[in-house]
Amino acid sequence: MDQAGTLRKLMRRRVAIRPMNMKPVRVITVTSGKGGVGKTNVVANLAVLMQKAGNRVLVLDGDFGLANMNIVMGLEARHTIHDVITGEKEISDVIVTGASGVRIIPASSGVMRMTQLSASEKTILMERLEAAPVQFDVLLIDTGAGINSDVAYLNAAATELIVVVTPEPTSIADAYALMKVMSQDHKVKRFKLLVNMVDHEKDAMGVYNHLLNVSDRFLNINIEYLGHVLRDARMSQAVLSRKVLCEGWPESAAAGCLGAVAKTLLEKPAAIELTGNVQLFWRNLLSEVSL
């Protein structure tokens, strides 16, 4: 049997033996059309806040082009998911523990494209993920900006998708383009909108209403307003200090907004949750990527 055939067989077998007594897992991707809108910082802060609220959070740095989650979280990534794919490391060797006990699977910049993995690399990755002795309630994924195929696959395999946008017209236009591609090419119909770097909450509502109006006319999708984060100089200060804002400056304006966003997310569970384990997410993801 060729490698692709072996992987397909492996996937079928794994589905059949999936343990059924595990807690559902939320898989949340944080994505954007335009770059530099605050995704990585949003993920780092939401991870800390959700962990503090009693959830076991695992963060995947899904930005395989410019991996920098570990920098924002102030961690040294000695090994990355790339070492798992090459077969040199187990997942547990790669995971690092950051603020408040959040666990992170670091990526390495520019060395890996999920969509370019060979069938044998996918098989290794899947086996190691299946065998990983880590349990969690929430998997938060930071994606790269734009709509390349890796981003699209991560978004399509998640149970919830947060689109980060700023009030800049280019960011709004790119958020619209992202939702259009995700809905038309990947059948993703539900989005949560987070408006970052606003000077007033009403500006965020303006961005939301604008996107809602245009999408109601041209796309058959559902956009939910998740919240806003105020523009706050402390955010850059936090990045420079390599400390997560909510940890270092919990009283700051942006940290307050992020707290409200985390609360909303936790109060409103996903419409779909993965029953079984997060491994199902990986299986979905890797089986989507054409073999």
CA distance 180 to 219: 7
Q: Find the binder of ligand ATP among 7, 47, 145, 211 (CB under 6 A).
A: 145
The residue range among 17-25, 184-192, 232-240, 263-271 that interacts with ligand ATP, by the rule CB under 6 A, is 232-240
The entry of ligand ATP, Mg ion, none near residue 265 (CB within 5 to 8 angstroms by kind) is none
CB atoms closer than 10 angstroms to residue 1 = 8
Q: Which residue has the tokens 């060797």?
A: 93
213 backbone dihedrals φ, ψ, rounded to 5°: -60, -50
Least distance to ligand ATP, CB of residue 147, Å: 12
Closest CA to 229 of 205, 207, 253: 253
Report yes or no: 153 and 282 within 8 Å, Cβ to Cβ: no
CA distance 134 to 104: 11
Q: Find the binder of ligand ATP among 4, 22, 35, 181 (CB under 6 A).
A: 35
Q: Which residues contact 65 (CB under 8 A, 6 or more apart)?
A: 109, 110, 144
Closest CA to 100 of 167, 166, 44, 164: 44
24 versus 206: smaller Cβ distance to ligand ATP: 206
The entry of Mg ion, ligand ATP, none near residue 143 (CB within 5 to 8 angstroms by kind) is none
CA 284 from chain center: how many Å? Answer: 15
The entry of Mg ion, ligand ATP, none near residue 86 (CB within 5 to 8 angstroms by kind) is none
**103 belongs to the binding site for ligand ATP (CB under 6 A):** no
Q: Find the binder of ligand ATP among 154, 235, 244, 255 (CB under 6 A).
A: 235
Least distance to ligand ATP, CB of residue 235, Å: 4
Least distance to ligand ATP, CB of residue 109, Å: 11
**204 belongs to the binding site for ligand ATP (CB under 6 A):** no
86 versus 241: smaller Cβ distance to ligand ATP: 241
DSSP H helices in 115-190: 119-131, 149-157, 169-186
**159 belongs to the binding site for ligand ATP (CB under 6 A):** no
Least distance to Mg ion, CB of residue 43, Å: 8
Closest CA to 254 of 194, 169, 167: 194
- Size, binding site for ligand ATP by CB under 6 A: 20
Residues that bind ligand ATP in the complex, under the rule CB under 6 A: 32, 35-41, 63, 66, 145, 196-197, 229, 231-232, 235-236, 239, 254
